[in-house]
Amino acid sequence: MNVRFEIEGIVRKAIWDYPLEAIREAVINALIHRDYLSTAEIQIRLYDDKIWIWNPGKLPPQINVEDLKKEHSSYPRNPLIANVFYLSGFIERWGSGTKRWLNYVRNRDYQSQNIEKNKADFPFIFSKISIQKKI
């Protein structure tokens, strides 16, 4: 991943190709909600123009992708793992990770970020930041 710098006042600001906080949320989400009965592994693929984080788990029947974009109940597939992450400080609140993920990418100059829902898996897709700015 590349980083570029901008000067804001007297402070140098690092601008990464991808929203690091959102990647953190997506990886934690994949670990907590993974279907550990599946022989498939969590995959993180780096492409020239995107990062793809894939979880071999599906959403619980009570929730859909649109629900993830607003306040929603949490249905962790692995509650013991989720509790360890919560007690370790990696989870701030139950049911808030995907909403926080969307806020991280919306509040910056990132191209469209996607949550895709397929029948048996759950990928997060991060498009590379657009470095074209008006001068």
Query: For residue 42, what are the CA distances in angstroms to 38, 48, 54, 110, 111?
Result: 10, 20, 6, 24, 24
pLDDT for the residue numbered 58: 76
- Amino acid at site 113: Q
Q: Which of 106, 131, 122, 117 is nearest to 19 (CA)?
A: 106
pLDDT for the residue numbered 63: 73
* Helices H / strands E in the chain, number of each: 3, 6
pLDDT for the residue numbered 88: 92
pLDDT for the residue numbered 118: 55
Whether the model pTM is above 0.75: no
CA 14, CA 85: separation in Å to the nearest integer? 28
Q: Which of 45, 55, 43, 25 is nearest to 120 (CA)?
A: 55
Class of domain 18-127: alpha beta
3-state class (DSSP) for residue 73: coil
Domain boundaries, the chain: 18-127
pLDDT for the residue numbered 119: 53
Task: Spell out, as residue ranges, where the chain has pLDDT lower than 50.
Answer: 112, 132-135
Instruction: Give 47's contacts (C-beta < 8 A, 6+ positions apart).
Output: none
